[in-house]
Amino acid sequence: ALWKFQAEHPANTSNHRSGAIITVPKQESLESPSQITQIQRDLRARLTSTARVDFRGSAGYQNATTRWSAGHHPDFAAVVVPTSTEDVAASIKLANTLGVPFLAVNRGHGTAMDINDCRHGINIHIRSLDSITFAEDGQSAVLGGGVYGDQVIRFLAVRGKATGLLGPGLGGGLGRYQGFYGLVADNILEMTVVTAKGSIVTASDRQNAGLFWAMRGAGHNFGIVTQIKYKIYDDVVPVWWIATYQFTKENIDQVFEVLNQLNGNGSQPKELTTYTVLAFDREVSHEPFIVVTIYFAGSATIGQIYAQPLLNLNPFSITNRTVPYPDLADAVGTGTSSPVCQQPGNSAALYPVGLLIFNTTAIHRVYDIYSDLVTNYPDFSHSIVQFEAYPVEKIQSVNHETTAYAHREDNLLVSLLSIYTPSTTNDIIALNYGRHIRDAFHAGQSSRQLNAYVNYASGDETVEEMYGHEEWRLKKLRRLKEEWDPQGRFGFYHPIHGLD
């Protein structure tokens, strides 16, 4: 097995492309009981009367610290449930005074390695900041910093509105509506940001423009967003057609040739998204198989035209249906209540690569590595390899210098999503296979530098791979980091360091 081969080779943590194993670092020891007492006392004194503070042993603490991936577990002395931007600011100021870390948490889905470095800090649980109101012009909405995609989509749908809020906007934000509206980040008009000093500022094209630029693509490094003003649109496509096709490995070349044709080197129709996975289920097959899902914003009649080349390949399973857009995620098993979203007790890790086309030679190699993982290690049997093809013309029509998001030229996004039983040994297995699959994908486009979508990044990627290879872009980010967070207080999600 691949794991056995890697275990026999010396560790090398300096270059992820070596494929070498790493030693999982030991966690730092906790702070003293007297400091815990001080945090508890001072938080109660500084917050508004409606805010809540939860401590170890309480149900509120348990709910706020349970994460999607059990392997990513920052340690908190206290949880603050704010009811205002001022509560967030007060929490940061106290953390700075005491010299303890803090971390903003919404639904707890982050899988960055750096999250585990937050030890005995303050969890600022912004999920409570979930207000949604329409602006007077009807063309924008004001969203609290704790809202999430499904919540906003359903709120707007019953009012005849739509938006592309389907991905974390601070890292760009990809999603099925991006063919119509572009990145989540491209639709943000204004932000209320609490900075590393605990200051409350407005960021927009007119106020603190540098911070606004950085927040849209590298925002996890610069502040906590408590409110945004966001573009909304009339919902012109309330119903979507979805179809799922399953194939054996013998169809790899033909399936991905069709997917390349549908993508058209980044020119696929704005209404069309394809999401493909390599999956493993012993009740279906003794070896991994291919699952292709087509999402079409429109009628089944037109959607079936795009799906016909896949039907011509004789899939061994076919399903299709038409659903209202708010029900789309639930229909394909990725809604907020679905098992993949809940992930009770499992660990998860992602290893992304941005591509221009699907290279079938590379995909055969990826298939072999993935098959080795899921067939030899039962703890990993629910892992998948993802192939995401969103319409990109709207994204690529925006000048790449206008935001910190650096990967507008990518047409496709692929990744291994490892899902496994938590253990130190399994963490290392996940890392080794993740690196090998990432390297195999990148070998299929060796003339390009590796791009890693920051919202998926595992944390062993370089700053350049996550935030862009252009020298001017990194210099600008580092200068802004020095200006807004010189002490690196926002350092637990793929951190950027300031100027030396």
pLDDT 10s digits, 379-431: 999 999 999 999 999 999 999 999 999 999 999 999 999 999 999 999 999 99
C-alpha dihedral, 5 to 11 to 15 to 16, nearest 10° = 50
User: Averaging pLDDT over each range in 19-28, 77-86, 243-252, which range is the top one?
Assistant: 243-252
**Do the bridges between strand 188-194 and strand 224-231 make them parallel or antiparallel, or are there none, so unpaired?**
antiparallel
* Mean pLDDT confidence for 466-495: 96
Q: What is the pLDDT of residue 17?
A: 40
In this prediction, what percent of the chain has a pLDDT beyond 90?
A: 65
Q: What is the pLDDT of residue 385?
A: 97
> Starting from the edge strand earliest in sequence, which strands make up the sheet with 224-231, in order?
132-134, 140-144, 224-231, 188-194, 200-204
Residue 329 burial (10 A CB sphere; 0-12, 13-18, 19+):
buried
Report residue 381 as tokens: 């049997």
pLDDT confidence tier of residue 95, bands split at 50, 70 and 90? very high
> By C-alpha distance, which of 464, 282, 459, 290 is closest to 387?
290
C-alpha dihedral, 99 to 105 to 110 to 114, nearest 10° = 0
In contact, 215 and 191? CB cutoff 8 Å: yes
In contact, 141 and 100? CB cutoff 8 Å: no
Q: What is the pLDDT of residue 197?
A: 96
pLDDT confidence tier of residue 23, bands split at 50, 70 and 90? very low
Report residue 238 as tokens: 């309330």
pLDDT in tens, 42-86: 888 899 989 999 888 889 888 888 887 777 778 898 899 999 999
In contact, 372 and 432? CB cutoff 8 Å: no
Q: What is the pLDDT of residue 19?
A: 36
Question: Is the confidence at residue 172, as pLDDT, over 90?
Answer: yes
**How many C-beta neighbours within 10 Å does residue 203 have?**
27
